[in-house]
Amino acid sequence: MVVITYGFFTLILSLSILSLSTIIRHRPSVVKTPCPQSHPLIGNLIGFLRNRHRFHDWVTDMLTTTPTLTLQVNGFLGLSHGICTADPTNLQHILRSNFHNYIKGSRYATVLQELIGTGIFSSDGSIWFNQRKIASHEFNTKSLRIFISGTVRSQVSKSLIPHLLSAGETIDLQQVLRKFSFDNICNVAFGIDPCLLSSNSKDSKVSKNLLFVQAFDAAVEHTSNRFMSPLPVVWKLKRFLNIGNERKYKEAIETVNRFAMDVIESKERRIGYGDNEDLLSRFMASSWDLGFEDEERRKFLRDIIISFILAGKDSTSTALTWFFWLLDGHPHCKHLIHKEFTMLMTSSHHLHPLNLTFEDLRNLNYLHAALSESMRLFPPVPINSRLTVDDDILPDGTRVRKGWFADYSAYAMGRMERLWGSDCREFKPERWLDDNGVFQPLDQYKYPVFHGGFRMCLGKEMAYLQMKLLVVAVMHEFEIEVVGGGGTPEKMVAPPYSLSLLLSMKDGLHVRVKKRQQINTVNVANMF
């Protein structure tokens, strides 16, 4: 009996040691994460100030030198700590595998509280889940896709093209695209057209819309400055004292709130009249069963709609600005895009690109590849962030402490040789095409331009649709020539961006717009 007991004990001990060694062997080892350009007390502050004008390239340079494409960040006086990664495996862990441990948290809520409240892009938990559920349902409906498509087509033909036709010798295309995208997102979100590209500012209705636009622009710029501030305590103190730019921000928010609530109350009075295609009307219909009181429901609607305006306001215009800049520096790509949609118009017997169907647009493989490649190098949202709920170890062995921020840089990821090869800094749409010239999507964690995981951008397909329609319509009518030359390989080494939430082009994109000489599409196939 003693022998049996001793043998049993020995067996259990052996199995325990074997199990423990297996766990240790498969558990990611904790590694010492490098923290380049960090100094005692001041952390990374000096490096940030020296490289503020090229912040994203500075981050890229540092990440490139690290063993696992991950680095540690130390804040001033140790007030904040975090990591920044360009590793797709880490990204999948943060955005999906351990999703609940990486939240938007106070870092987003504090900065964006006044502008979007508890909207979908700053909230977590049940508040986020309810908004995401409603939005996901609506974005997957055919009727919304048709509504957005019709809105884009109408604005391109009635607003953008006439504006470009009447443009002077040179124009700032970035500013034109921003106005267009704001008109478009307000139509989609509110069912209201601010008419930035085609307005008579003396019209009282247009004047009211313009006040909202100006206030919204001011608010977005201010929140961007908050995010990029190396010393958040400064703006928080100004907010507490209600002085300086924080006081102006408060006034801008009041204007945004008045406009949004007026629109919501107007929609409530028109329930049942049938004009319910915009997002606000759809969310109103979906929110009746959530148990809100009237004021609470209006606040909910205000936050979610303002959130979508924030997301759609400049994202596509930013992407298209870099796209046209790159095309001017790569004439062969411009030629192939024009050839592709012209051939498609010929084969489908459409006389104008705005008549192309959804299926036609899906068949523009090279254009889709060129847009994706442009956003790989110049993602509209270059860097994103989460807050850690509990201690964690990333798949590459990086230790992340509770309360740390976890950033991921889409800009840096697009420039990583370890991810994209030795030609990673070149603009090559062909990398997205198979041997038959068909577009091949890539892993969302390698290409997080539309984020990834459970917070994957709901408007991704709509964004591609809008960009394709705009590109083919503009390139069909005009030749766009960048003043001083576009994004050649030499100029891509130090791209002219400004530091903000979005990767805006510094000083705009000044172009000459020339009416394209149209060729009979019946014989166009013989040209190639």
pLDDT digits (tens, 9 = 90+) for 46-65: 888 899 899 999 999 999 99
State the first-to-last Cα distance of the chain, in angstroms, to the nearest integer: 91
Sequence-ordered alpha helix ranges (H) in 160-231: 161-165, 173-190, 204-228
Asked whether the predicted pLDDT for residue 521 surpasses 60, the reply is no
pLDDT, position 177: 96
DSSP, res 119:
-
pLDDT, position 31: 60
Residues of the chain with pLDDT > 90: what percent? 58
497 exposed, middle or buried (CB, 10 Å; 0-12, 13-18, 19+)? buried
- Nearby residues of 315 by Cβ (< 8 Å), 6 or more positions away: 181, 380, 381, 463, 502
Residue 520 lies in a domain: no
Range of 129-138, 305-314, 357-366, 467-476 with top mean pLDDT: 467-476
pLDDT, position 205: 63
pLDDT, position 527: 41
**Per-residue pLDDT reduced to its tens digit, 336-390:** 999 999 999 988 777 788 888 888 999 999 999 999 999 999 999 999 999 999 9
Which among 131, 135, 113 has a CA at the least distance from the CA of 122? 113
- Of the two residues 16 and 215, the one the predictor is more confident about is 215
**Per-residue pLDDT reduced to its tens digit, 270-306:** 776 666 788 888 888 887 777 778 888 899 899 988 9
**Per-residue pLDDT reduced to its tens digit, 22-33:** 333 344 455 678
**Per-residue pLDDT reduced to its tens digit, 101-136:** 999 998 888 999 899 998 888 899 988 998 898 889
Q: Are the CB atoms for 392 and 101 separated by under 8 Å?
A: yes
Asked whether the predicted pLDDT for residue 519 surpasses 80, the reply is no
Note if the pTM is more than 0.85.
yes
Residue 281 lies in a domain: yes
pLDDT, position 526: 43
pLDDT, position 43: 83
Q: Determine how β-strand 81-85 pairs with β-strand 405-409.
A: parallel
**Per-residue pLDDT reduced to its tens digit, 423-449:** 999 999 999 999 999 999 999 999 999
Q: What is the rounded distance in angstroms from the CA atom of residue 93 to the CA atom of residue 73?
A: 19
For residue 497, the domain's CATH number is 1.10.630.10
Q: Determine how β-strand 81-85 pairs with β-strand 70-74.
A: antiparallel
Which among 96, 92, 106, 90 has a CA at the least distance from the CA of 399? 90
Residue 28 lies in a domain: no
Asked whether the predicted pLDDT for residue 490 surpasses 90, the reply is yes
pLDDT, position 22: 38
Average pLDDT of 383-398?
96
Question: What average pLDDT does the structure give for the chain?
Answer: 87
DSSP, res 262:
H
Q: How many domains does the chain have?
A: 1
pLDDT, position 8: 34
Residue 524 lies in a domain: no
Q: Are the CB atoms for 280 and 190 separated by under 8 Å?
A: yes
Asked whether the predicted pLDDT for residue 4 surpasses 60, the reply is no
Lowest model confidence (mean pLDDT) among 314-318, 344-348, 518-522 = 518-522
pLDDT, position 273: 61
- Of the two residues 313 and 9, the one the predictor is more confident about is 313
pLDDT, position 25: 39
Q: Are the CB atoms for 429 and 373 separated by under 8 Å?
A: yes
Q: Which residues are annotated as a binding site?
A: 457
pLDDT, position 267: 86
What domain range includes position 409? 34-515
Helix (H, G, I), strand (E, B) or coil at 506: coil
Q: Which residues are annotated as a binding site for heme?
A: 457
Q: What is the rounded distance in angstroms from the CA atom of residue 260 to the CA atom of residue 256?
A: 6
pLDDT, position 78: 76
Asked whether the predicted pLDDT for residue 190 surpasses 50, the reply is yes
pLDDT, position 15: 38
Lowest model confidence (mean pLDDT) among 39-43, 184-188, 481-485 = 39-43
- Of the two residues 305 and 523, the one the predictor is more confident about is 305
Residue 147 lies in a domain: yes
Residue 305 lies in a domain: yes
pLDDT, position 210: 84
- Of the two residues 323 and 48, the one the predictor is more confident about is 323
CB neighbour burial string for 323-345, b if at least 16 within 10 angstroms, e if fewer: bbbbbbbbeebbebbbebbbebb
Residue 410 lies in a domain: yes
Which residues lie across from 480 on neighbouring strands? 513
Q: What is the greatest pairwise CA distance in the chain?
A: 101
**Per-residue pLDDT reduced to its tens digit, 141-186:** 888 888 999 999 999 999 999 999 988 789 999 999 999 999 999 9
Q: Are the CB atoms for 449 and 410 separated by under 8 Å?
A: yes
Residue 367 lies in a domain: yes
Q: How many residues does the chain have?
A: 528
Asked whether the predicted pLDDT for residue 334 surpasses 80, the reply is yes
If one counts every other C-beta atom within 10 angstroms of the C-beta of residue 484, the result is 8
